[in-house]
Amino acid sequence: MAAAPVVSTIEIVAAAILLYSVVLSARENIWSWPTAIIGVALYIIVFYDAKLYADMSLQFIYIIINVYGWWKWLHGDKEHEGVLHVSKAPLRTMLLGSIVAIIATFAFGLFFHHFTKASFPYFDSALSSFSLLAQYLMARKYIENWYLWITVDVFYIAMYTSKHLYVTAVLYALFIAPCVLGVVEWRRAIARHAVAEQV
């Protein structure tokens, strides 16, 4: 019983940090990556306590992708003189990414269903897999990441509410606003870059 307030405190702190990180991402601010790493690390504890093992496992992969995104945003693409511009994801990237996410959903779902006491093994695995895809798209500055995040967030709200992780459920509801901001800001960035290339 004594551990519950500690986890609740960690959940609140992690939620606040990640919300701030998403706002920074929407504004293409490089500090979104280190803040995300801190928030993700705290959520390892939260999800372990809630027996959401797919989400817990996902956080370790998130840390790796956040480091990759941090490096990518700093160094960019060689073709664009070290600058990574916002762009639309190639169809091939979206198709391959979706196929990998679907395969991962069933693979992790089967594992967590048969070998753990995980809650919602397939549903949790699906959300985790597509979240990972969204994070990769963000690291590459593909605008489609925001549309995928909005979709995933809606389903996460339902799952976290059912697990009584109300702070996290509210967090994912709040995430939708900066995700919409991300769509608006990144569409403007694409338009600005298109104009600059024509000059």
DSSP state of 80: G
Q: What pLDDT is attached to residue 41?
A: 94
Q: Are the beta carbons of 30 and 74 closer than 8 angstroms?
A: yes
Cβ neighbors of 79 (< 8 A, separation 6 or more) are none
Q: What pLDDT is attached to residue 52?
A: 76
Q: Give me 174's structure tokens.
A: 């709040």
Predicted TM-score of the model (pTM): 0.85
CA distance 22 to 178: 6
Per residue in 4-41, pLDDT tens? 444 578 888 998 999 999 999 999 999 999 999 999 99
DSSP string for residues in 131-198: HHHHHHHHHTTBTHHHHHHHHHHHHHHHHHHHTT-HHHHHHHHHHHHHHHHHHHHHHHHHHHHHHHHH
What's the mean per-residue pLDDT of the chain? 88
User: Residue 65's closest CA among 147, 13, 132, 17?
Assistant: 132
Q: Which CA distances in Å does 189 have to 13, 85, 143, 182?
A: 31, 8, 10, 10
Query: SS3 for 11-63, per residue?
Result: HHHHHHHHHHHHHHHHCCCCCHHHHHHHHHHHHHHHHHHCCCHHHHHHHHHHH
Per residue in 63-118, pLDDT tens? 999 999 999 999 876 655 567 899 999 999 999 999 999 999 999 899 988 887 77
